[in-house]
Amino acid sequence: MLRSVASHAIRTPSRVVAPSRVITSSLHSSALTQQSITDKVRHTLGDLNKKIGEAAATGIDKAQEASHTVEEKTHNATDATKQGLDALNKKTGQAAASGIDKAQHMSENAGDKAEDLKYQAKDKAQDLKHDAKDKAQDMKHVAKDKAHQGKAKAKDAADEYTN
């Protein structure tokens, strides 16, 4: 804006006639003022740029710190999850092993009991077989005795009938 005012002042004839020295001085002073304003704007913009850069760097640093913190917490959570799953897996394995051991023990006990029952059944069958043989022998002897008695009675009856 200052440049356009200075440019306008040069092109438009002034109504007040002033010595040329003043005009030159005012032009010179105007150029200095213009240059110092430009320098001030540059300086201000440079400072502003520097502050924006510093703020951006701070923001980037904070974002990196936050990212690192999130990454660290994610890593910690992952480690905790892995440890929890490992512990769960170990406990599950122990429970399964215990269940397998109990099942094998019960199976062995059942096998032993079945074996015991098998021998008991064989012994009982042998006992019953011997008892049956003994009873059969006894019955055979009783039957022979009865047959002899019957024969003797029949002979006595026949003798009595024939006498």
Q: Given a cut of 60, is residue 125 above it in pLDDT? A: yes
The angle subtended at Cα 2 by Cα 19 and Cα 4, nearest 5°, is 85
Give per-residue pLDDT as tens, 89-100.
Answer: 999 999 999 989
Asked if residue 156 is part of any domain, the answer here is yes
Asked if residue 108 is part of any domain, the answer here is no
Asked if residue 55 is part of any domain, the answer here is no
- Structural domain boundaries, residue 158: 120-162
Long-range contacts of 117-121 (CB under 8 A, 24+ apart): none
Give per-residue pLDDT as tens, 31-83.
Answer: 555 668 888 888 999 999 999 999 999 999 999 998 889 889 888 999 999 99
- 2 within 8 A of 33, measured Cβ to Cβ: yes
Asked if residue 133 is part of any domain, the answer here is yes
- Which tokens sit at 94? 């122990």
- 27 within 8 A of 6, measured Cβ to Cβ: yes
Q: Given a cut of 90, is residue 6 above it in pLDDT? A: no
Asked if residue 153 is part of any domain, the answer here is yes
Asked if residue 75 is part of any domain, the answer here is no
Closest by CA to 113, choosing from 48, 43, 105, is: 105
How far is Cα 134 from Cα 137, in angstroms, rounded to an integer? 5
How far is Cα 103 from Cα 111, in angstroms, rounded to an integer? 12
- 29 within 8 A of 6, measured Cβ to Cβ: no
Looking at the 3D structure of the chain, how many domains does it have? 1
Higher pLDDT, 41 or 161: 41
